[in-house]
Amino acid sequence: DTAVSQTPKYLVTQMGNDKSIKCEQNLGHDTMYWYKQDSKKFLKIMFSYNNKELIINETVPNRFSPKSPDKAHLNLHINSLELGDSAVYFCASSPGRVGALEQFFGPGTRLTVL
Amino acid sequence: KQEVTQIPAALSVPEGENLVLNCSFTDSAIYNLQWFRQDPGKGLTSLLLIQSSQREQTSGRLNASLDKSSGRSTLYIAASQPGDSATYLCAVEEDDKLIFGTGTRLQVFP
């Protein structure tokens, strides 16, 4: 009974390719997020969606396009992959927006761009 | 701009010791502070959430305190065990997002 799940767990691809990462939560939460953890293990917010509506876009290149078909899913599509996109991408969810709302994280997707 | 710093960056201790991990943040206008642990190659597990109006939270051998005015939080781990070995991350919530600290890598040896 995984709470926040991501697929795939590992993704190895060539520069210039387009790839997608999927995220699903079964917690009934309204808000979902994408975070990026770089090679120095620093975690940073990329996007936040609330009830399928984009709330935060943290100056991420427009090669990254999140899509939320419903509030239980938040997918991340990346066009024209670059070497610097190599990182671990984490999906997370919380009951709602703003204040005292615990965030729950998925297991991560390790993306390697060659 | 909010900055979150954790010290020490790494810590190696024998089993049984009581530990204190530190987290500091530059802007006190936060909604809450959350402590996570991350095991190698794994996701984040939430340990404790302290709301901005609270001073501390406890869960088992873990106790986290929050002093908003001074921009500090501490995570106290009592009677450490090898299974506590992981990276510990603190994060503050502001404006609909979590801002993470740099992490403390903890190793507890038998």
Q: Consecutive 10-residue runs of chain B (110 residues): their mean pLDDT?
A: 93 96 94 92 90 92 95 97 96 87 95
Give the pLDDT mean for A4-22. 96
What three-state secondary structure class fits A83? helix
Counts for chain B of helices (H) and strands (E), in that order: 0, 11
CB contact under 8 A, B96 and A48: yes
A95 touches chain B (CB under 8 A): no
B62 touches chain A (CB under 8 A): no
| Count of alpha carbons within 13 angstroms of residue A107, beta-carbon side | 10
A30 touches chain B (CB under 8 A): no
Task: Among A31, A41, A102, select the one facing B103 at the smallest CB separation.
Answer: A41
B98 touches chain A (CB under 8 A): yes
Task: Among B31, B44, B96, select the one facing A105 at the smallest CB separation.
Answer: B44
Collect all residues of chain A within an 8 Å Cβ-Cβ radius of residue B46: 102-105
Tell me, what's the pLDDT at B97? 83
Tell me, what's the pLDDT at A1? 63
Residue A56: pLDDT over 90: no
Task: Write the CB contacts of B20 (distance below 8 Å, at least 6 apart in sequence).
Answer: B74, B75, B76, B77
Q: pLDDT-based confidence at A54, cuts 50/70/90?
A: confident
Number of A–B residue contacts, CB under 8 Å: 61
Among A27-31, A53-57, A87-91, A107-111, the range scoring the smallest mean pLDDT is A53-57
Q: How much of chain A, in percent, has pLDDT values that exceed 70?
A: 96
Tell me, what's the pLDDT at B43? 86
